[in-house]
Amino acid sequence: MDKKMIECRDVVYKYEDSNEGTYKLAIDNVSIDIEKGEFVVILGRNGSGKSTIAKHMNALIIPTEGKVYVDGMDTSLQENVWNIRNNAGMVFQNPDNQIVATIVEEDVAFGPENLGIEPNEIRRRVDDSLKRVNMDEYKKHAPHLLSGGQKQRVAIAGVLAMMPKCIIFDEPTAMLDPSGRKEVIRTIRELNKKYGITIVLITHYMEEAVKADRIVVMDTGKVVIEGSPREIFSNVGTMKEIGLDVPQVTELAYELQKEGIDITSDILTIDEMVDALCRLK
């Protein structure tokens, strides 16, 4: 069986400007592979092409040049689109735009209802999905009364009810407060670790990228670096040149090192920092 969940092969994407006959080159020859079961984070400045490449991953847009395959299916073939959308779900920034019903469980049922799935199976999927995001207690509640983090978890349950193999998250925590962000990130990690769902996460929060299997950094429509969180964030200088931050503790280690303190620059967590500081002579 093919181990690749998503393959982007030499993808070029141009947004056409219908008025002036000009175009904007948003994706400039990008190749990215996402393995089944992997947790990949995409980082990049505003306008670097993250959302555009993400939309290729569930056939919301089709490459101008090159190919995208989702679970082996070519996204440019119309007959594959239905299957691709069921295999690769997408979650966006604003939970309010993703919630359609006035009761949580009805909202989660909306997707599978549209697939024509029989009622008993829908019931089972709704209950199961709400449990997976830890929102089953709220199934009879009105979504608009929930917190941002809770709403976003309901939106995630709605995607889970379609039973996708892969979920692409485009800045799912951008509109949430710190506690909502934590809830949502915990949920996303659990979907990956416990249920084996392949995750692509776009974020501007470096702390959210630390636990990824792999980070892909984009700039001006290209992939500029790719590697483990430790590899990526230890390049503090490169990241700064691209206009990106690194996690706060990594930055601190970098500054200490500049001051002549003998500490490694690939520190990612507070625990690692404490360890390193205690080892200083």
Ligand X SMILES: Nc1ncnc2c1ncn2[C@@H]1O[C@H](COP(=O)(O)OP(=O)(O)OP(=O)(O)O)[C@@H](O)[C@H]1O
Give contact residues for ligand X (rule: CB under 6 A). Answer: 15, 24, 26, 44, 46-52
* Smallest separation (angstroms) from ligand X to the CB of 44: 5
Q: Toward ligand X, which CB reaches closer, 51 or 58?
A: 51
Shortest distance, position 52 Cβ to Mg ion, whole Å: 8
23 binds, among ligand X, Mg ion, none (CB under 5 to 8 A by kind): none
Binds Mg ion by CB under 5 A, chosen from 5, 7, 51, 218 = 51
Q: How far is the CB of 74 from Mg ion (least distance, A)?
A: 25
Among 186, 177, 119, CA closest to 156: 186
Give residue number: closest CB to Mg ion.
51
* 250 interacts with, out of Mg ion, ligand X, none, CB within 5 to 8 A per kind: none
Angle at 229 between CA 180 and CA 253, to 5 degrees: 90
**How far apart, in whole angstroms, are the C-alpha atoms of residue 250 and residue 235?**
10
Applying CB under 5 A, which part among 44-52, 129-137, 183-191, 237-245 lies near Mg ion? Answer: 44-52
Nearest to 188 by CA among 134, 233, 141, 235: 134
| CB distance 154 to 146 below 8 Å | yes
Report, in Å, the least distance between residue 109 CB and ligand X.
30
Residue type, 160: L
3-state secondary structure of 252: helix
Question: Per CB under 5 A, does 203 bind Mg ion?
Answer: no
> Which strands make up the sheet holding 22-35, listed edge to edge?
22-35, 4-17, 65-70, 73-74
Contact window for Mg ion (CB under 5 A) among 46-54, 107-115, 211-219, 271-279: 46-54
Residue pair 57/63 in contact by the 8 Å Cβ criterion: no
Q: Are 63 and 13 in contact (CB under 8 A)?
A: yes
Among ligand X, Mg ion, none, residue 158 binds (CB under 5-8 Å by kind): none
Task: Tell me whether residue 222 or residue 230 sits nearer to ligand X (CB atom).
Answer: 222
Q: Spell out a b/e string for 89-109, using b for 16 or more CB atoms within 10 Å of the CB, else e.
A: bbbbbebeebbeeeebbebbb
Which residue number, 185 or 217, has a Cβ lying nearer to ligand X?
217
At its nearest, how many Å lie between ligand X and the CB of residue 202? 7
What is the DSSP-derived secondary structure letter of residue 103? S
Q: Which residues bind Mg ion (CB under 5 A)?
A: 51
